[in-house]
Amino acid sequence: MTNSGDSPLKKVCIICAKGTIEDVYAALVMTNGAVMEGIEAKLFFTFFGLDAITKSQMKSLKTATVGNPALRMPGNLPFPTLLGALPGVEAGVSAMMKREMDKLDIPPVDEFMDMITAGGGEIYACKLAMDMFKLKKEDLCDHVKGVLTIGEFYEMAGGSNTQIIFT
């Protein structure tokens, strides 16, 4: 794996700012992939992405059904946004997504985080978002190594062979 300078990528820092199933899993898959490739990986959750690491929320992530132009129904038909506003539709679509992920043996969020941290990856929370949502470190799952300011995150990300990815 190489970056734009054609030297091997040594470190990747991934920022997850959204709390939907598809956004959280994109960050988890990329981070785990980096760890598996031997790349130093740091995953930073901010704003609504904090739901993925908040004990009370991490097992109930949803798929956005309103305003999601990429959402498709079986048969590759576009999903009408208006339907997403009906009671129970978001829960049904989210359950369908989780069933499809189960068929592919994609682990739940906490197991994915186990794999990432067991492989040497690190998971962090954003101090500003924590303060904004009135969260404390004890509200977060045990996988979270620390709560950082964005300046601390950028300092940690330093180096010419580092790639920062925002999901």
Domain range holding 159?
Answer: 11-60+92-166
The CB density around residue 31, as the number of other CB atoms within 10 Å, is 29
CATH number for position 156: 3.40.1260.10
Residue 29 within a domain: yes
One pLDDT digit (tens) per residue for the chain, 167 residues: 544 556 678 899 999 999 999 999 999 999 999 999 999 999 999 999 999 999 999 999 998 888 777 777 777 777 777 777 778 888 888 888 888 889 999 999 999 999 999 999 999 999 999 999 999 999 999 999 999 999 999 888 887 778 888 88
Residue 154 within a domain: yes
Q: State how far the Cα of 61 lies from the Cα of 54, in Å rounded to an integer.
A: 11
DSSP annotation of 66 reads S
Q: State how far the Cα of 137 lies from the Cα of 73, in Å rounded to an integer.
A: 39
Residue 81 within a domain: no
DSSP annotation of 167 reads -
Q: What is the pTM of this model?
A: 0.86
Question: In angstroms, what CA-CA distances link 54 with 12, 17, 49, 103?
Answer: 23, 13, 9, 26
Residue 76 within a domain: no
Long-range CB pairs of 145-152 (<8 Å, 24+ gap) are 145/117, 148/44, 148/124, 150/126
Residue 66 within a domain: no
Q: Quote the number of domains for the chain.
A: 1
Residue 85 within a domain: no
